Amino acid sequence: MSLKAPSPPADTGRGRGGRAPRPVSRRSGLARLGPLPWIAPVILLILAVVVWPVVELIRTSFLNISISGKVRGSAGTDKFKKLFEESDFSAVLLWTVVWTVVVVTVTMLFSLALAQLFNQKFPGRRYARWALIAPWAASVLMTAIGFKWMLNQTAGVLNTLMLDLGLIDSSKDWLGKPETAWPWMMGVAVFVSLPFTTYTLLAGLQTIPQDVYEASRIDGAGPWQTYRHITLPMLRPAFLVGVVINLINVFNSFPIIWAMTQGGPGYDTSTSMVFMYKLKETDIGESAAMSVVNFLMVVVLVLIFLKVSRWNEED
């Protein structure tokens, strides 16, 4: 009788203790990338529509380009030097800052009042909210053109009405002089900015819990104390969003000024955006240099506001 060595146990695919080893996950490679596969399309979109145009803009500002668009070599920093030597450059920058600060400030104050009003219950509130959307739904360019017609010196409804009422002796050219053109353009800019800002603040007001107001009334706080110590602090996130978006929009506002005065006479009613647009007619490189300055200015304005408002600090 021959002895045979015992045959090894069949491989059942189990490890020690009878447990099967974990199968290698096919997703382990993707798991190492974390959220990158999901946010990659957004990153590519940002690179395509934000980063690349900025890079191309900066590159163009250092080139010597003909009016027809033909590149004639590098210009170094000559375009920036030419820009800074423009006689109207400093005045345009000053008016751009004034335009932005005044329009944003007035817009936020009026929007805050309107948001507080629309947050109350009154007859016809729904229709009043719908009416507020009209300036937002309409084209900014068409709104500016409508106001330009209204302010026309010969056939404008404003001059006609004021003459009929005896308020003025002769028709006035409201958009022909900077001292009257600027207030009217600022008024139009506020008019078209009110809807978005009001609804932003209204949304913020409606997120404030009512029990907070009830607790303040129980504690004996008056209306002003409640508004100052409860409403305004809790409205701060929505307020910051409204200010930042308005800073960017108003600074970059072009249709209103171009439709109403085209920045004239001369550059007297031009902001830096209109100034940049006019420069392209004579020097594309200098216009690109002005675009770089505009980009830096709006970044600085937003950063200054965020620094002053301490946006990342909680009360």
Tokens 């600027």, residue located: 182
- Both tokens assigned to 260: 């109403």
Please, are residues 281 and 263 in contact by the beta-carbon 8 Å criterion?
A: no
The Cα 230–Cα 233 span in angstroms is 6
Per-residue pLDDT of the chain (315 residues; tens, 9 = 90+): 444 555 555 555 555 555 555 554 555 666 677 777 788 888 899 888 888 988 888 898 898 888 777 888 888 889 999 999 999 999 999 999 999 999 999 999 999 999 999 988 888 888 888 888 888 888 899 999 999 999 999 889 999 999 999 888 888 999 999 999 999 999 999 999 999 999 999 999 988 888 888 888 887 778 888 888 888 888 988 999 999 999 999 999 899 999 999 998 889 999 999 999 999 888 889 999 999 999 999 888 888 888 877 765 655
> Distance between CA atoms of 286 and 82, rounded to whole angstroms?
7
Domains of the chain: 87-308 (1.10.3720.10)
Global pTM?
0.81
Task: Give yes or no for a contact between 285 and 217, defined as CB atoms under 8 angstroms apart.
Answer: no
Tell me the β-bridge partners of 65.
71
Task: Please enumerate in sequence order all residues whose Cβ is within 8 A of that of 179, keeping only pairs 6 or more positions apart, or say none.
Answer: none
**Tokens (6 digits) for 7:** 């045959």
Cα angle 51-93-242, degrees, rounded to a multiple of 5: 60
Structure token digits, residue 291:
């675009």
